[in-house]
Structure 1
Amino acid sequence: MSDLFSSTSTNFDEAPKAKSGSVDPELDNFLMIEKQKAQFTAQIHEFNDFCWEKCVDKPGTKLDGKTETCLNNCVDRFIDVSLLITNRFAQLLQKSAGGM
């Protein structure tokens, strides 16, 4: 699933150039927001896939308490790890930007 964005033929980072030769800031901002939305949607699908496989033995008409608790805990831990990794990368970026 992490290859979702790298395998597409459209490169969202290459915005059309304005007449002055620079990237249109409004278009650049729009593309950044749309990319973030797509990444967020992909993350939700990843939560669903991972936690469904981990917690749901056999689908039924209603979730039992054990399955519901497992799904809640799974998503919570997944979010915790995602935030931990994101924060760690942000720290590394700050260190590398400060060292230049």
Structure 2
Amino acid sequence: MADKFDEATQKELATFLEREQAQARLQTSIHNFTSMCWDKCITGTPSTSFSRGETGCLENCVGRFLDTSLFMVKQIEEKREQTQF
């Protein structure tokens, strides 16, 4: 079906799909670290606010998750660059 579109339209569709896939990956990551950090940090029944310990745990958990994700992305990019040369 994509063959029926001109080159500019095909490129636009590819860019759109790439953006949508990136958005889906981001949403999946957010869901994963939300679930993981919730399970790790929220030990009691939630009330109208988190305890001081829960707040600190959530902040640290999400921060470490993001740090690890960025580290892994950088490592993958470096390996990709090495294999291109």
2:56 pairs with one of 54, 69, 74: 69
More helix by share: 2
1:92 and 2:79 matched: yes
In the TM superposition, residue 29 of structure 1 has moved relative to its aligned partner by: 0.2
User: What does 1:1-100 correspond to in 2, within 5 Å?
Assistant: 16-19=2-5, 24-61=10-47, 62-98=49-85
- Measured in 1, the distance between the counterparts of 2:3 and 2:45 equals 51
User: Which structure carries more relative contact order (alpha carbon 8 Å, separation 6+)?
Assistant: 2
User: Which structure 2 segments of 5+ residues have no match?
Assistant: none
Deviation per CA, 1:61-100: give whole Å up to 9, x if none: 12000000000000000000000000000000000011xx
**How many Å apart are 1:20 and its aligned residue?**
5.9
Sequence identity (%): 28
Aligned counterparts of 1:68 and 1:80: Cα–Cα separation in 2: 18
Moved over 6 A (4+): none
Q: If the length of structure 1 is used for normalisation, what is the TM-score?
A: 0.76
CA RMSD of aligned residues (A): 2.0
Give structure 1 stretches of 5+ with no counterpart: 1-14
